[in-house]
Amino acid sequence: MAILSGLSVDNLTEILEGQPSFRAAQIFKWIARGAFSFNDMSDLSRELRDELAARHNLYGSSIADRLEDPDGTIKLKMRLTDGAMIEAVLLIDGEGRKTACISTQAGCPAGCIFCKTGSLGFLRSLEAHEIVEQFLHIRSAAPTISNIVIMGMGEPLLNRGELRKALGIITDERGLGLSKRRITLSTSGIVEGIRELAEIGPDIRLAVSLTTADPELRKQLMPIGRSNPLPDLKEALQYYQKKRGRRITLEMVLLGGINTRDEDIEGIIRFNRGLDAAVNLIPWNPVEGMAFQGKALREPTGAEIARFARELKRRGITVTRRWRKGRSVSGACGQLGELPLSQFNRQTH
Ligand code: SAH
Ligand code: SF4
């Protein structure tokens, strides 16, 4: 039994052995147009539709819940074939542009101490169809999505094979045809994965969650930084820029009083030298029960954020600030991962 939403035209051709060669492209197109069952594929014979339905599934996931914030953000909870739960989010910005925020893993192994997903632990990486289906489900809630950010649950560069397949499907002009320039991947800084992106693509936009350029503090806040040290990360980013010639984004989650000090500003300025990067400030979104060195994490104050932005700008760095969207549905950055995943974790332990 194959799940067709995660197959490229070539994979479909293999599965449809014995059918005329245009059939695979025809089915690929139907999935991109939003067909939810083989019955929707009205230009296939009844016989073929029945045969496909008996042998394959179109989707592997289903929508378990849909939450909507007054600001327009929609969070979809999706149930996967093994019962794991993941989340995908539709964001609408000030200009009305619609962006799908999608997940690449159920839980996350990186363990950042400020992130809800990280606190859940790691269940597994997603398969290509589970990544494509998030986009398709979100699009059925909002037909005109122009952008994708790979910033949901999980560390995308620890699931490169399936993500690559999924992006191949999403950007294929015979189907969904989304432009690579409209896709941004955010990573906690997996050095090997950044080098692979530099060498073989796909040629999407890159954002890196730097959060602090202080090596010791970063290892404490983002344990994955121990095996991906800052000097190696910077070298990989320089290599990426040499190969791809693209401006990157450095994301900074601002944790009140922790990484908002003068030396943090200086550290970022130093890290930024030799890179072509814009800095994106993300004020920490509260997650209950999170602490660092025995003290509860707190949101940065308006004054802390303003000072941080002002100082970086004064030193010639381009600074953007991420708007807080979807907080009432826990759909903002770092808030993804609700009870169902942890319940599932408990059942499997
Ligand atoms: N794993 C990838 C992508 C998903 S996280 C990464 O870490 O980059 C997407 C962004 O949300 C990252 O920049 C991360 O640092 C940030 N983030 C995590 N928890 C957050 C929180 N509680 N508040 C605000 N941003 C958070
Ligand atoms: Fe994983 Fe990103 Fe959360 Fe860190 S911030 S735990 S890398 S999802």
Domain CATH code at residue 231: 3.20.20.70
Confidence of residue 108 (pLDDT cuts 50, 70, 90): very high
pLDDT at 322: 77
Give mean pLDDT, residues 186-190: 98
In this prediction, what percent of the chain has a pLDDT beyond 70? 96
If asked whether residues 100 and 68 sit together in one domain, one would say yes
Give percent helix, percent strand, percent coil of the chain, each to the nearest 5: 40, 20, 40
Question: Which ligand has an atom closest to residue 107 CA?
Answer: 2
If asked whether residues 51 and 68 sit together in one domain, one would say no
Indicate whether 221 pLDDT > 80: yes
Q: Is 112 labeled as catalytic in the residue annotation?
A: no
Question: Which ligand has an atom closest to residue 111 CA?
Answer: 2
Confidence of residue 338 (pLDDT cuts 50, 70, 90): low
* Domain-ending residue, one of 57, 72, 95: 57
d(CA 328, CA 341): 19
Instruction: State the DSSP code for 257.
Output: T
pLDDT at 127: 98
| Ligand 1 center–CA 112 separation, angstroms | 8
Give mean pLDDT, residues 91-113: 95
Q: Which of 317, 308, 321 is nearest to 280 (CA)?
A: 321
Instruction: For ligand 1, atom 2, name the residue with the nearest CA.
Output: 187
More confident residue, 315 or 336: 315
Kind plus residue range of the DSSP H or E element containing 183: strand 183-187
If asked whether residues 22 and 136 sit together in one domain, one would say no
Instruction: Provide the edge-to-edge strand list for the sheet that holds 183-187.
Output: 62-68, 74-79, 85-92, 98-101, 147-150, 183-187, 205-209, 248-254, 277-283, 319-321
**b or e along 256-269 (b: 16 or more beta carbons within 10 Å of the residue's beta carbon)?**
eebbbeeebbebbb
If asked whether residues 151 and 29 sit together in one domain, one would say no
Confidence of residue 335 (pLDDT cuts 50, 70, 90): confident
Instruction: For ligand 2, atom 8, name the residue with the nearest CA.
Output: 154
| Ligand 2 center–CA 306 separation, angstroms | 25
Q: For residue range 271-283, list pLDDT tens digits in order.
A: 999 999 999 999 9
If asked whether residues 17 and 84 sit together in one domain, one would say no
d(CA 132, CA 59): 10
Give mean pLDDT, residues 91-111: 95
If asked whether residues 42 and 109 sit together in one domain, one would say no
Greatest pairwise CA separation for the chain in angstroms: 70
If asked whether residues 87 and 115 sit together in one domain, one would say yes
If asked whether residues 215 and 274 sit together in one domain, one would say yes
pLDDT at 327: 73
Q: What are phi and psi of 20, to 5 degrees?
A: -60, 155
In this prediction, what percent of the chain has a pLDDT beyond 90? 87
Alpha-carbon Rg for the chain, nearest whole angstrom, is: 21
Q: Which atom of ligand 1 is nearest to the CA of 208?
A: 8
Question: Is the Cβ atom of 87 under 6 angstroms away from ligand 2?
Answer: no
Mean pLDDT of the chain: 93
Pocket test for ligand 2, best of 86, 105, 155 (most atoms within 8 A of CB): 155
3-state secondary structure 56-83: EECCCCEEEEEEECCCCCEEEEEECCCC
If asked whether residues 199 and 337 sit together in one domain, one would say yes
If asked whether residues 185 and 328 sit together in one domain, one would say yes
Q: What is the DSSP string of 229-253?
A: -HHHHHHHHHHHHHHH---EEEEEE
CA dihedral 34, 36, 40, 45 (to 10 degrees): 110
Indicate whether 346 pLDDT > 50: no
If asked whether residues 50 and 88 sit together in one domain, one would say no
* Domain-ending residue, one of 14, 40, 57: 57
pLDDT at 347: 31
Q: Which of 219, 190, 220 is nearest to 293 (CA)?
A: 220
Instruction: For ligand 2, atom 4, name the residue with the nearest CA.
Output: 112
Indicate whether 1 pLDDT > 90: no
Q: Which domain holds residue 17?
A: 2-57
Q: Is 87 labeled as catalytic in the residue annotation?
A: yes
Q: For residue range 14-29, list pLDDT tens digits in order.
A: 999 889 989 999 999 9
Residue whose entry in the numeric block shows the structure tokens 């699931």: 159
Q: Which of 74, 90, 167, 177 is nearest to 126 (CA)?
A: 167
Q: Treating both helix axes as pointing N-terminal to C-terminal, what angle do 262-272 and 302-314 enclose, rounded to 10 degrees?
A: 40
Q: Which of 23, 29, 28 is nearest to 7 (CA)?
A: 28
Q: Which residues contact 170 (CB under 8 A, 6 or more apart)?
A: 132, 135, 148, 176, 178, 183
Domain count of the fold of the chain: 2
CATH of the domain at 39: 1.10.150.530
Q: What are phi and psi of 175, to 5 degrees?
A: -135, -110
Indicate whether 341 pLDDT > 60: no
Q: For residue range 260-306, list pLDDT tens digits in order.
A: 999 999 999 999 999 999 999 999 999 999 999 999 999 999 999 99
Q: Which atom of ligand 2 is nearest to the CA of 154?
A: 8
pLDDT at 66: 95
Indicate whether 340 pLDDT > 80: no
Question: Is the Cβ atom of 336 under 6 angstroms away from ligand 2?
Answer: no
If asked whether residues 74 and 39 sit together in one domain, one would say no
Indicate whether 345 pLDDT > 50: no
| Ligand 2 center–CA 282 separation, angstroms | 14
- Angle among Cα 234, 181, 183 to the nearest 5 degrees reads 75
pLDDT at 224: 97
Q: For residue range 204-213, list pLDDT tens digits in order.
A: 999 999 999 9
CB atoms within 10 A of CB 147: 18
